Structure 1
Amino acid sequence: MWPKPVPIPVEKHRGQGIPEGFFDIDESDEEDVNNASDSDDDETIESESDIEDDRSLDGEERLGDVEITKKRPYDEGTCLTLVWGHAPRLPHPGLGPRAPPASPWFGATCPACLTLGTEPVSKKKNKKNKQLDPKLYKPPTVKELNQLRETENLFNSNLFRLQLSDQGWLKSINVKMPMKQQPFEGKGSFQFIKPSAVSIVGSFASNSFVGPDVCIDLAVEMPRQCFQQSDHLNERYLRKRALYLCHLAGTLQSGHLVQSASFRLCQGDPLRPLLEVRPEGKLGKRVVVALRPVPQSGVFKLARFSPEKNNIRPSWFFTTSDAIEDPYPPTPHHNHSAIQDLATTANQEYCRQALEGHPNIKDGIRLLKVWLTQRKLNKGYGSFGGHIVAQLVSHLVLQKRISVLGSSYQVVRATWVYLAQSDWTNFGASLAEPSMGTPPVSAFHQYFEVVFVDSTGYCNLCANMSKETYERVKREADLAVKCLDNPNINSFQVLFMTPVPFYRQYDHIIRVSHLSRLETDQVRQLDHTNHTLPLAQVPILATLREGLGRRVTAIAVSLEDTPQWSISIDPPASADSLTVGLTLDPVHAFINIDKGPTANTEEAEKFRDFWGPKSELRRFPDSSICEAVVWPVITLADKRLVCGQVVEYLLASRLGLKVIYVADQYETLIKHSKVKPANFEYGTGEEATLAVLSVFNELSKHVRELNDLPLEIISVQGTSPVFRYTDTFPPLATQSRPGKKVTKDGPTCILLNDTSAIGMAPRWIPVIEAVIQLALSKKWPNDLEAVRRIKAAFHVEVAKCLSQQCGLTAQPHPNFLDVLKGGFVFRLRLAYPREVGLLKKHVTPHGVTTYVDTDESRDLEKDIVHIPTITGAVHGLHQEHPSYGPACCLSKRWLAAQMIDPHHFPEIVVELLVAWLYLSPEPHEPPTQPQTAFFRFLHLLASTNWVTQPVILNFNTELTREEVVEIEGMFQSSRATLPPLFLATSYQPSGVVWTKRNPTLQILVRTAMLAKESLTIVEEKLFSRHFDTKLIFRPPLDVYDVLIYLRPLLNPRRLEAVDVNKDQPVVNLPSYQYHQGEKLPVAGFNPVQCYLKELRETYGEFALFFHDPYGGQVVGVLWIPAAMEVLDFKVSALMSIDLY
């Protein structure tokens, strides 16, 4: 039973309800209100604290459980609204069925605030003997009762205190507060009143949205009655905004119009959640509606949120006694979170004025948004969002820098040119008129790294953007302009259709975790209200800038978009990790000494303070004595990781942070873990390659200087992959001696024993091939057989001269010459260009001479003409981009690990495809780290449609634009007769030299599938501390029809396997020492390759054979479907096949 309500005199019992001063302005508020500098910023809404000062109401005349609120449009006087939750505990009608009975005090519902009705009171002091107007108690009509009941059911309870303990109503509607309330305490009250207006804003309103889903932004205007004077302080406005969203979410989910409702952060700002709803039915599959609460116009003055103002009181925010004292520091970033809502209408109008009636401008904005989306620059905290693009283009249009008659191409180009030339970090842009009396742009530069002020003159649209993100946008814009100016690439494909994920864009990736452990000063904590990401991002980036210096050309931050979450769960925790990308400067990145200032100077003291114990005094070759930091390196692979040493040291010593450094994880696959050379560290093979090239240069000099030869030797050109820096496991020099069981001594060579008794293959010693070019002569015969005999004789003569004049061991053969030099075996071949023509020559029975390409002529031309030419070009490419060689090795290693050996995918084709990534790197810059190039190679295989995409390598820009167009035209007109992979170069424009036979279309499809799966694994596991990098190098075996397992001891390259036996001891190669009469070792002998060759020659028409040439222990067999078909027996179909 309800107790009979008794009117309580206004003059009594102040302390029986709400705690004293609950709705009063606290000391910090009072200081702000009375601050003379803010005297012109008084708000239009008066609060209860304002009414307290009225002469008609003194401090003792406020009812304890009664709140005096402002006069509403529906009131005849001032409405007394009962606040529930205090003694006596009288439930609110919207919180349950226990509503009090009707009475003169608690009878009706006030249509203004939707709470229990109250006795009207005038602003004058009430007299005890004053007669109340009986008209005010006239019973409501049926229409009024229905209207009040519907309103009550729709909006439920509307008066809520901001304390967490008084937000239990959220549980009744199953909605969680979409923002963290820290600290929990908050003064003021919140009323839910239906929106005063709802309008479409954003890209949908301006018709510049992009798909795939259509997002309609609705600005839901919160009426002025929802606010009090001091709501700009201490997150009150932002919390009311969030509560308003909660009430909307609860109401919408109870209806039948909404399929789903979820919260999402606006541009990653934890203080600005949005409510996203999807309509019921088919519309919800493609349309999402984003509700954005904004205050009614005039509620707050924009000047209240100027960047120099303080709107978070330290005494409220910090619970400790050592809080910041007056004067309070400015809170520009918190102010920005609030002022964005206030400027929504003005900015929307600014865009409308510029874009209305100009669909070409809107198309340009769409293209720019797609461009940003592909680079993931428009989502997340501090991003370059679509609203910035729209404002920028509108500004350029109104400033006549973009013609309204121009095409969408001209719009994007003009915007890119402007961005590339802009400098918003030092000279910000403003859309406001200078005569508006707004703060100058220089005032914003005091608080923000990037400044782009909107049309109101108070809101910096780039307030949360870091300098690194802005510089990244500038670089991308500059690169986009260069793409447009490059006639040799499809710029539209590159700029708008190619995704640019973060891990494929930068050479080194840094993942910093546990950001919350980083200590920051109170001023920044106050400004960002303990938002972890910006608090940690600023000191981390500042440290990296100073520490890396000229080693990097760019530092970028990965913009991570906060996922949406259900309205019934708590918001996700703030990101506790930061991902940073580095683009290395190939000139300075690999230097292992940081030279500092001269000793005994002020700069030297700062240098020591920054580097700590790493700094030391060193004397340099120029006799200067300076502070310096030395980073230990041994191999070239170590030099590529100097930046990693710098980053890990600085973040650990200065900030106490640990990182996951992604740069060379996959390079372990091209390290020889089980073989150790005697004279150098192997690394990733570059040192071994340089050793080979050094010895070859000496041999080449000896050969060119030989006397007593019938023809002069002009040059010796290497053709093996090692000369292109692309040999996955380069040859290693060693001393060769005959064994006891496997090999035996010969006259000039070490020979194999009886092969039938061999139980183990000899050590793998590859041959290094080169071509000898002779001077021109007219004495060569025109007979092919005679030419071959002369070449054989020349090989004998060269071997004799090398032995007599240089003391080298050489063994001639009819087709080549093997020479032992410096512990390596070189195989030299004599090149006679006219021999190719003799192989093509064909005389018909009628005596007509024709020249027809044959397999033999193609192979010879490739060996003595094309490969030497390409080797020289690729060698130069590696000199320009030292990461090219290891990137090729890693790419070939991956393909081989998938059991796609050079028989199916030739090595030279892999090398040229990787070279294409360097010659035409768009939309990237050429990589400096091999691992980054490897990721791009996988993407190239996974995403390229080889049927429509020709590969044209323009080495040294020797092809003119006209020649490139001609090659493209030939490709399109003759596509049906060309190989599946069309690969043309400056020296082989036909496009068929390298891919005439392989790879086939089936192999290309297979590699695309494998590359796509590998990329998926990389993206998922790249930042894991316990990631198995060999995972993508283990082939699936279940796709093969037959598996043939090999005997490990007969596999001479078993130590190169991906999963080499851990118990296998490391082979320490002895140092090579020259001695007179040394003998050639068994070189180039691989029983596994001999076995594969026989399988393919014998059963090639029935099956395909797959194997990993780098130590693979299994051969995969795949039946050819056509070979399994049942055919009628025909004698002609036997094709000389033995039947027994």
Structure 2
Amino acid sequence: MEWASFLYENGPFHSGLEGFFDIDESDKDDVNNDSDGNDDETIQSESDIEDEPSLDDGERSGDVENTKKRPHDGGTEPVGKKKNKKTKTLDPKLYKPPTVKELNQLRETENLFNSNLFRLQLSDQGWLQSMNVKMPMKQRPFGVKGSFQFIKPSAVLIVGSFDSNCCVGPDVCVDLAVEMPQQCFQQSDHLNERYLRKRALYLCHLAGTLQSCHLVQSASFRLCQGDPSRPVLEVRPAGKLCKRVVVALRPVPQSGVFKLARFSPEKNNVRPSWFFTNSDAIEEPYPPTPHHNHSTIQDLVPTANQEYCRRALEGHSNIKDGIRLLKVWLTQRKLNKVHTILVYGYGSFGGHIVAQLVSHLVLQKRISMLGSSYQVVRATWVYLAQSDWTNFGVSLAEPSSGTPPVSEFHQHFEVVLVDSTGYCNLCANMSKETYERVKREADLAVRCLDNPNINSFQVLFMTSVPFYRQYDHIVRVSHLSRLETDQIRQLDHTNHTLPLAQVPILATLREGLGRRVTAIAVSLEDTPHWSISIEPPASADSLTVGLTLDPVHAFINIDKGPTANTEETGSNVPVKCKMNRHDGVPQAEKFRDFWGPKSELRRFPDSSICEAVVWGVTTLADKRMVCGQVVEYLLSSRLGLKVTYVADQYETLIKHSKVKPADFEYGTGEEATLAVLSVFNELSKQVRELNDLPLEIISVQGTSPVFRYTDTFPPLATQSRAGKKVTKDGPTCILLNDTSAIGMAPRWIPVIEAVIQLALSKKWPNDLEAVRRIKAAFHIEVAKCLSQQCGLTAQPHPNFVDILKSGFVFRLRLAYPREVGLLKKHVTPHGVTTYVDTDDLHQEHPSYGPACCLSKRWLAAQMIDPHHFPEIVVELLVAWLYLCPEPHEPPTQPQTAFFRFLHLLASTNWVTQPVILNFNTELTREEVVEIESTFQSSRSTLPPLFLATSYQPSGVVWTKRNPTLQVLVRTAMLAKESLTIVEEKLFSRSFDTKVIFRPPLDVYDVLIYLRPLLNPRRLEAVDVNKDQPVVNLPSYQYQKGEKLPVAGFNPVQCYLQELRETYGEFALFFHDPYGGEVVGVLWIPAAMEVLDFKVSRINSRRLVGKGPKIEPNIDTIMENFFILGTGLVRSVETNNSKLEAK
């Protein structure tokens, strides 16, 4: 390969080029690094490593170019050989005494730093500036012993997925292991980051030289697997390959330089006296540094692990295909970030782990070499789902290889998968939460494969699963550096903030949340990437955690602790309680220590006295945020961290900010819905018990969205009285004033629709008009009976009867027995009787109702009202997210379901994707296949959105007229833009959640502005006037002779209906039904064409020229828009922004 030969034969190194990161000789008192004994064999005295020999005159000057060359191309002596010291006479032409400036500098250094080495160590990296390269790792502390000289690589090897032909696009990454020769190292380079810093400087010289090479387009640094101590150099080759190929250079020591046993988990390779200013707290024997050891040993094993994979994969393209599919699966779930072996995020389940695991399963004959890629993938998922690497780790090494036992790794790492050498834990940086997440995803993948009702390939490999859509609650923890950690862990992780903070944070969340969550996951952030000429970015100072809530336990507002007796010790706190058998500490005391002042002693209904923590809740929306209270208290109050909690920000859009009921806290509408259902149940019982009716009433079924928990703003009960200007009293109802100039619309009072079902009878006539007359007479009788027998105010109409009960207006319609079907009914505006069954879905998944409300609210805010996108269609699409949630689990938080709804609109190709809702699994597999076959064979005659249910398998009832293809395309574009904004701004404290609920108006041809006071739903607007006072609704009190209020009257909707009936052939009308103050008009292109003259076409058209041609009269139509809305319309304007765009 040209790259390998260039580095090896014509590399950036030449004899005599020297660069020292420290000008000291090797540590004389360190024991040979080949020793695999204990730490006391490695170094005789801590003071020995601090006291280095003095520098010779030539070195003291700091002039590298004038320094005399040393043997072996100017490098240090090979390991194990002693240097023969000879007395030499200095040539006065080459050496001269230090100048006055140099003497002052040395004296200043000695005075300031109490050392004559520190300043020289700083100045000794000056050669980096001449190359315009910055050191790619933080050097804290800066001072480190040893000398180093750049020597050309002893070998350049291709490793990783490119070598094994397991690369996954779109970019191809070629991983090159650049061997640093043995002469670059000294005996104690395993100590105190000496190897890691030599490695980084070696990389710097590579970067500085390659940036001027004709083969290189660009060069940059990136962290290897997110480890700040292990940068790699990414090079883009010149030419056409630069867009698709990346070469990753990774310095590794030559084979034999270090013994693997030196880096086993039990070893200490970071001395406290070097790392800490005051290390008195840590005494010998020094604690092990397993994570620091892992940073080094990863560079010692790539060749061995590559050979291990080669044994299993060579000649088996089917297995390699399986590995590629697994990598794609991991990438779609954000379990790894980049396709190359070198730059996966910190703690990720990278592709190198997949390759090693599959190779292990092949060599163990758990995967057949002759099996297909599907069998490889399935076998791997089954193995992962059943594995337990947190308690029973796996080693790929031979059992008799004399390597450390797996139990030794378990003492230091949460997850254990030991590589083929037996010394490197491939999952050393992986948290338990990430591993459990992989297991859950593997189990879900197997279930997807076994589910015949979904396209498993699409779900598993083609669908992206970003973190914010995957979990119910998201926690962003900032200022991790503020968290105090013990010195032992600081010594192990040196300068890496993320793992230092991640372990205690996750442990705190595990204990604090307990049964409230079924999963805790860590977001694997992208690895930093920066130019070679700038300083490396600071370590990540934030951590993002996802929570999957347990719907059974997540909403409980009391954490009940251990029981306690009344025995006390010097205070009022009972201490005699159940003991923890592991540590002997009373559980009650541990509970109090953990929760702090939040813990209190309480007596429960079962007479037990326990420690408990109580979280304040008043609404169901508050209950959904109990976990948020727990997390914010533990992390912010107890640990002092900055917490950004993402869970319910968008739920404010379905809260009544300007209307306050008297009897309950409104929340997100669930309490109002429950109040309606409670009153309706009473009314239903009264209606069924009515006497003196010709036929018995056997059921009363609600049909309004409120009965399905999906009404965005449920009705609110209140007292209704006639006013002076707008309304007046009638015999049984409050009526509108006769005046034509009403300055304000009456308060919005929605009607609640329900259907009366009668007992069967053979006396019903067959004539349609006769049936209508019988229905009208029956409505009169029902109203009369309710008034006489129940004392309710009722007003009959030919098609329905209105009833006032407990401040709500119910509208009952009589259903002809032949029209009655199964259980739930919904009568469409076109008179088609159809059936839905989503209230049971809300009972199973309480987030379904608020999720529907949010989805409807968003569509309405985009001015796509129910005329264009029927409410029942929105409800069924959201239901589909719960019935077929793959590749997710069903959401527990409404906001998460809302995000998934936006993704459904933005990414689904409705031309090829049918929506089949199998409520209660009533459809058999054969019936589902038949529906899919019908969809494929008759696609051209079916509506754009094919939506079939177990009650209406035809798929055309719900969407026969709307939404149209144009509306679906528009919603897809708006949803995609909304998701982009959410992804970019979700964690910003200044993020305005209403941004995605503000519609773009520049797409409309004409804008009709309405008078706000004539819009009865103006208080529901997204941007309601802040100066608008809050309406405090009085509590309902029954009064004898109360009258029906003006219900269901909305002038805006009446105006829209008239516009659509009159000018529907010329234009489409868009409006936000929840308080929108503007109507958008979009001309239909086909209607704007010039047509032949016909009498039937003359309406709103004018003659063109002398010929018998006509065209739409736009000016007249716009004038009629204003005339039709006289009093309601403020102005009608042409959208100039659209004209300018054209």
Shorter-chain TM-score bucket reads 0.7 to 0.9
| 1:636/1:687 contact within 8 Å kept | yes
Q: After superposition, what is the alpha-carbon deviation per residue over 1:517-541, rounded to whole angstroms, capped at 9, x for unaligned?
A: 1111110101000311000101100
Q: Structure 1 residues 291 and 143, CA, compared in 2 at 3 Å: closer, same or farther?
A: farther
- Aligned partners of 2:1005 and 2:957: how far apart in 1? 32
Q: Structure 1 residues 36 and 1132, CA, compared in 2 at 3 Å: closer, same or farther?
A: closer
- Aligned partners of 1:278 and 1:685: how far apart in 2? 56
| 1:47/1:229 contact within 8 Å kept | no
- The equivalent of 2:815 in structure 1 is 831
Q: Structure 1 residues 264 and 1133, CA, compared in 2 at 3 Å: closer, same or farther?
A: same
Q: Structure 1 residues 179 and 843, CA, compared in 2 at 3 Å: closer, same or farther?
A: closer
- The equivalent of 2:43 in structure 1 is 45
- Aligned partners of 1:1139 and 1:403: how far apart in 2? 62
- Aligned partners of 2:827 and 2:62: how far apart in 1? 118
- Aligned partners of 2:713 and 2:598: how far apart in 1? 36
| 1:361/1:407 contact within 8 Å kept | yes
Once the two structures are TM-superposed, the CA of residue 254 in structure 1 deviates from its matched residue by 1.3
Once the two structures are TM-superposed, the CA of residue 621 in structure 1 deviates from its matched residue by 0.5
| 2:751/2:811 contact within 8 Å kept | yes
Once the two structures are TM-superposed, the CA of residue 843 in structure 1 deviates from its matched residue by 25
Once the two structures are TM-superposed, the CA of residue 584 in structure 1 deviates from its matched residue by 0.4
Once the two structures are TM-superposed, the CA of residue 70 in structure 1 deviates from its matched residue by 16
| 2:948/2:956 contact within 8 Å kept | yes
Structure 1, unmatched stretches of 5+, are 3-15, 76-116, 855-876
| 2:22/2:124 contact within 8 Å kept | no
SS across alignment from 2:994: helix
When structure 1 is superposed on structure 2, of 123-132 and 915-924 the one drifting more is 123-132
| 1:48/1:67 contact within 8 Å kept | no
Once the two structures are TM-superposed, the CA of residue 320 in structure 1 deviates from its matched residue by 2.5
Once the two structures are TM-superposed, the CA of residue 835 in structure 1 deviates from its matched residue by 5.9
Once the two structures are TM-superposed, the CA of residue 1137 in structure 1 deviates from its matched residue by 29
When structure 1 is superposed on structure 2, of 746-755 and 193-202 the one drifting more is 746-755
- Aligned partners of 1:695 and 1:845: how far apart in 2? 26
Once the two structures are TM-superposed, the CA of residue 563 in structure 1 deviates from its matched residue by 3.1
Q: How many residues align?
A: 1061
Once the two structures are TM-superposed, the CA of residue 282 in structure 1 deviates from its matched residue by 0.3
Q: After superposition, what is the alpha-carbon deviation per residue over 1:927-952, rounded to whole angstroms, capped at 9, x for unaligned?
A: 00000000001111111111111011
The yes-or-no answer on 1:669 pairing with 2:653 is: yes
| 1:449/1:465 contact within 8 Å kept | yes
Once the two structures are TM-superposed, the CA of residue 804 in structure 1 deviates from its matched residue by 1.1
| 1:176/1:568 contact within 8 Å kept | yes
| 1:160/1:190 contact within 8 Å kept | no
Q: Structure 1 residues 958 and 304, CA, compared in 2 at 3 Å: closer, same or farther?
A: same
When structure 1 is superposed on structure 2, of 544-553 and 372-381 the one drifting more is 372-381
Superposition CA RMSD, Å? 7.5
When structure 1 is superposed on structure 2, of 816-825 and 750-759 the one drifting more is 750-759
| 1:41/1:304 contact within 8 Å kept | no
Once the two structures are TM-superposed, the CA of residue 1075 in structure 1 deviates from its matched residue by 1.9
Q: Structure 1 residues 458 and 797, CA, compared in 2 at 3 Å: closer, same or farther?
A: same
Once the two structures are TM-superposed, the CA of residue 434 in structure 1 deviates from its matched residue by 1.1
Between the aligned residues of both structures, percent identity stands at: 92
| 2:154/2:254 contact within 8 Å kept | yes
- Aligned partners of 2:1024 and 2:833: how far apart in 1? 56
Q: 1:236 aligns with which of 191, 194, 197?
A: 194
| 1:17/1:64 contact within 8 Å kept | no
| 1:57/1:125 contact within 8 Å kept | no
Once the two structures are TM-superposed, the CA of residue 1101 in structure 1 deviates from its matched residue by 0.5
Q: After superposition, what is the alpha-carbon deviation per residue over 1:414-467, rounded to whole angstroms, capped at 9, x for unaligned?
A: 101111111100110100111000000000000000000000000000000001
Q: Structure 1 residues 154 and 529, CA, compared in 2 at 3 Å: closer, same or farther?
A: closer
| 1:163/1:187 contact within 8 Å kept | no
SS across alignment from 2:118: strand
Q: Structure 1 residues 848 and 658, CA, compared in 2 at 3 Å: closer, same or farther?
A: closer
Q: After superposition, what is the alpha-carbon deviation per residue over 1:729-778, rounded to whole angstroms, capped at 9, x for unaligned?
A: 00000111111111111111111111513111110000000111111111
Q: Structure 1 residues 272 and 47, CA, compared in 2 at 3 Å: closer, same or farther?
A: farther
- The equivalent of 2:409 in structure 1 is 444
| 1:208/1:366 contact within 8 Å kept | yes
Q: After superposition, what is the alpha-carbon deviation per residue over 1:82-107, rounded to whole angstroms, capped at 9, x for unaligned?
A: xxxxxxxxxxxxxxxxxxxxxxxxxx
SS across alignment from 1:1012: helix
SS across alignment from 2:1139: coil
Query: Which residues of 2 match residues 447-526 of structure 1 at below 5 A?
Result: 447-526=412-491
Q: Structure 1 residues 288 and 396, CA, compared in 2 at 3 Å: closer, same or farther?
A: same
| 1:219/1:291 contact within 8 Å kept | yes
Q: Structure 1 residues 31 and 228, CA, compared in 2 at 3 Å: closer, same or farther?
A: closer
Q: Structure 1 residues 1112 and 790, CA, compared in 2 at 3 Å: closer, same or farther?
A: same
| 2:76/2:184 contact within 8 Å kept | no
Q: Structure 1 residues 223 and 777, CA, compared in 2 at 3 Å: closer, same or farther?
A: same
SS across alignment from 2:298: helix
Once the two structures are TM-superposed, the CA of residue 61 in structure 1 deviates from its matched residue by 16
| 1:47/1:69 contact within 8 Å kept | no
SS across alignment from 2:846: coil
| 2:687/2:697 contact within 8 Å kept | yes
Q: Structure 1 residues 460 and 179, CA, compared in 2 at 3 Å: closer, same or farther?
A: same
Q: Structure 1 residues 446 and 70, CA, compared in 2 at 3 Å: closer, same or farther?
A: farther
Q: Structure 1 residues 28 and 422, CA, compared in 2 at 3 Å: closer, same or farther?
A: farther
| 1:428/1:441 contact within 8 Å kept | yes
Q: After superposition, what is the alpha-carbon deviation per residue over 1:370-416, rounded to whole angstroms, capped at 9, x for unaligned?
A: 00000111131100000000000000000000001111011111101
Q: After superposition, what is the alpha-carbon deviation per residue over 1:826-859, rounded to whole angstroms, capped at 9, x for unaligned?
A: 00111115369999999999999999999xxxxx
| 1:43/1:301 contact within 8 Å kept | no
| 1:161/1:189 contact within 8 Å kept | no
Once the two structures are TM-superposed, the CA of residue 139 in structure 1 deviates from its matched residue by 31
Query: Which residues of 2 match residues 1124-1139 of structure 1 at below 5 A?
Result: 1124-1134=1088-1098
Q: Structure 1 residues 606 and 910, CA, compared in 2 at 3 Å: closer, same or farther?
A: same
Q: After superposition, what is the alpha-carbon deviation per residue over 1:959-994, rounded to whole angstroms, capped at 9, x for unaligned?
A: 111111111110010000000000001111000111
Once the two structures are TM-superposed, the CA of residue 250 in structure 1 deviates from its matched residue by 1.0
- Aligned partners of 1:928 and 1:451: how far apart in 2? 32
Once the two structures are TM-superposed, the CA of residue 823 in structure 1 deviates from its matched residue by 0.7
- Aligned partners of 2:827 and 2:402: how far apart in 1? 94
- The equivalent of 2:723 in structure 1 is 739
| 2:23/2:59 contact within 8 Å kept | no
Once the two structures are TM-superposed, the CA of residue 164 in structure 1 deviates from its matched residue by 3.3
Q: Structure 1 residues 153 and 994, CA, compared in 2 at 3 Å: closer, same or farther?
A: farther
Once the two structures are TM-superposed, the CA of residue 235 in structure 1 deviates from its matched residue by 0.5
Q: Structure 1 residues 370 and 878, CA, compared in 2 at 3 Å: closer, same or farther?
A: same
| 1:444/1:460 contact within 8 Å kept | yes
- Aligned partners of 2:654 and 2:22: how far apart in 1? 71
Q: Structure 1 residues 366 and 159, CA, compared in 2 at 3 Å: closer, same or farther?
A: farther
Q: Structure 1 residues 27 and 690, CA, compared in 2 at 3 Å: closer, same or farther?
A: farther
SS across alignment from 1:27: coil
SS across alignment from 2:382: helix
SS across alignment from 1:247: helix
| 2:26/2:186 contact within 8 Å kept | no
- Aligned partners of 2:971 and 2:642: how far apart in 1? 37
- Aligned partners of 2:527 and 2:1009: how far apart in 1? 49
When structure 1 is superposed on structure 2, of 25-34 and 611-620 the one drifting more is 25-34
Once the two structures are TM-superposed, the CA of residue 652 in structure 1 deviates from its matched residue by 2.3
Once the two structures are TM-superposed, the CA of residue 133 in structure 1 deviates from its matched residue by 20
SS across alignment from 1:543: helix
Q: Structure 1 residues 937 and 24, CA, compared in 2 at 3 Å: closer, same or farther?
A: closer
Q: Structure 1 residues 755 and 396, CA, compared in 2 at 3 Å: closer, same or farther?
A: farther
| 1:742/1:762 contact within 8 Å kept | yes
Q: 1:1059 aligns with which of 1012, 1016, 1023?
A: 1023
The yes-or-no answer on 1:791 pairing with 2:755 is: no
- Aligned partners of 1:118 and 1:835: how far apart in 2? 96
- Aligned partners of 1:741 and 1:1023: how far apart in 2? 49
Once the two structures are TM-superposed, the CA of residue 39 in structure 1 deviates from its matched residue by 4.7
Q: After superposition, what is the alpha-carbon deviation per residue over 1:1070-1107, rounded to whole angstroms, capped at 9, x for unaligned?
A: 11111222111110000000000111111111111110
Q: TM-score, normalised by structure 1?
A: 0.85
| 2:26/2:145 contact within 8 Å kept | no
Q: Structure 1 residues 619 and 849, CA, compared in 2 at 3 Å: closer, same or farther?
A: closer
Larger radius of gyration: 1
Once the two structures are TM-superposed, the CA of residue 190 in structure 1 deviates from its matched residue by 1.2
